[in-house]
Structure 1
Amino acid sequence: MKLLSIFIRQENNKETNLQRAVNIIIACGAFIVFFFWSMKRLNLSFDFSVLLDFKYRLFTGFITTIELSTISLLVSLLIGFLSAMGSKSKILPLSYFCKTYIQFIRGTPMIMQVYLFFYIIGTAWGISSRFIAGVLILSIFEGAYISEIIRGGLDSIDATQLEAAKAVGLDSKQTMRLVIFPQLIARILPALAGQFASIIKDSSLLSIISVIELTQTIREISATNFAIFECYLFLGLLYLSLTFPLSMVTRAVERRFKYDN
């Protein structure tokens, strides 16, 4: 029974370090076994040494993806916050403008928006830099989703807490800093973490306008050496190396903002 307890979560929903380590190893092992079993059924073998000749290009593409995602993350947060506030505004034209933007972006695929904003709007306004265009496209797309996350978080906070803050003499800035903001962060952080990971992954779609980020670099390399499986499997690992640490950091911040802390 003691051995089986390693695989059972306790009644208080907590896990020991031993439980966590053992079960992570088992889960990862199951994925690895399934993957290599599938390879064996197809008689596939990978040779990643073909990528060594392109290590500088891969490094450059990797750095470009980080720069693109980081800048887009910051800009999309700003866009999301402003559009969330705008959609709740009492000024109706502003409110409906923000709501229309959110509905249009969320209701259409990003690949269509890439072509629309780059070849039509970008050309009309003289945006020649593909990197800047990529940042704007990615930020506008992700900003709509972040806006809904923020709006939902604000709506989930009970209005009676605002009344209680007034009753104890807090002004609007103190209410936002001491009452609203801590709860808002704790409630929206899990959803924002997923959205931040999406920013990194969605940056791959900018390869269709030849932004030389990681995916475009891999496409060019695979067209040269025809090692398609090796290239795209390595691409997945590189994206995972970016999204996994982000997930770990977000969990740490989420624990920091829990009410019992």
Structure 2
Amino acid sequence: MPLWDWNYAFDILPDLLLALVTTIEITLLGSVVALLLGLVIAILRRAHIPVLDQVLWGFVEFVRSTPLLVQIFFLFFVLPQFGITLSAFVVGVFALGVHYATYTSEVYRAGIDAIPKGQWEAATALSLPRSRTWTGVILPQAIPRVLPALGNYVISMFKEVPLLLAIGVIEVVNAAREIGSVTFRYVEPYTIAGLLFLLLSYPASMLVRRLERRRVAA
């Protein structure tokens, strides 16, 4: 039996591509959660509301200090005991999104803290409403500064989606595993799965590096 069978590889490719769509969907939806929730956390912590700031600090540190897989298991296996049952897909999106929101919140905070103090003082001198200060002055300057770092976290999230095979999500690595368990040929499915990740993550990383170089040049 040959080590690599091209006919077999082409036969299983459609199933792996279909699973890749699921991987991309989870990544995109998880990224939306991570980017929006991270921004909300950063803004709320910037407000220095005494009790809330401590709660958010504790939440961020707790999530960042515990393994993502444990968080996935908690949401999928423990929450149903409290009457909250979520599908594996939803758990994947929520777990990845919240986990990475704790990292993106720190990225946002760094970008916000890098805004010169004079910008805040100018907004105050012009009597701009708080919401207008954020949306018209601070965030348009802070977010472009941190886009490369945010992009790196999105790529990292994409590569961590395979953790969801532990709760039965048919993403591309789980699909490769199931195909291999049926045919007892693992070289082709796992190799193709790895190449699919490479074909998407490498160009994305190149784009992030280009953005970073452009930011430095600016």
TM-score by length of 1: 0.72
Root-mean-square deviation (Å): 2.6
Q: Which has the larger radius of gyration?
A: 1
Alignment partner of 1:109 is 2:67 = yes
Deviation digits for residues 163-211 of structure 1, max 9, x if unmatched? 24555x4735564455423431232111111101011111110110001
Aligned pair 1:209/2:173, yes or no? no
Query: Residues 122 and 192 (structure 1 numbering): CA distance in 2 closer, same or farther, change over 3 Å?
Result: farther
Higher relative contact order (CA 8 A, sep 6+): 2
**Which of 55, 78, 86 in structure 1 is aligned with 2:13?**
55
Output the CA distance in 2 between the equivalents of 1:105 and 1:228. Answer: 35
Distance (whole Å) between structure 2 residues aligned to residue 222 and residue 199 of structure 1: 25
Given the superposition, is the C-alpha separation of residues 158 and 152 from structure 1 closer, same or farther in structure 2, using an over 3 Å criterion? Answer: same
Residues 1:68 and 2:30 are matched in the alignment: no
- CA deviation profile, 1:1-49 (whole Å, cap 9, x unmatched): xxxxxxxxxxxxxxxxxxxxxxxxxxxxxxxxxxxxxxxxxxx953343
Percent of residue pairs identical: 34
Q: Counterpart of 2:119?
A: 161
Count of residue pairs brought into register by the alignment: 216
Amino acid paired to 1:64: T
Instruction: Give me the TM-score of the superposition, normalised by structure 2.
Output: 0.85
Structure 1: how far apart are the matches of 2:29 and 2:191?
26
**Partner SS for 2:63:** helix
Equivalent residue number for residue 147 of structure 1: 105
How far is the alpha carbon of 1:157 from its aligned partner? 2.1
Call closer, same or farther: CA 1:259–1:53 in 2, change over 3 Å.
Answer: closer
Aligned to 2:128: 171
1:127–1:133 contact (8 Å) kept in structure 2: no
Aligned equivalents of 1:229, 1:223: Cα separation in 2: 12
Residues 1:125 and 1:138: Cα distance change in structure 2 (over 3 Å): farther
* Structure 1 residue aligned with 2:197: 239
Give the deviation of 1:118 after TM superposition. Answer: 1.3
Q: Match of 2:174, SS?
A: helix
Structure 1 distance, partners of 2:46, 2:73, is: 30
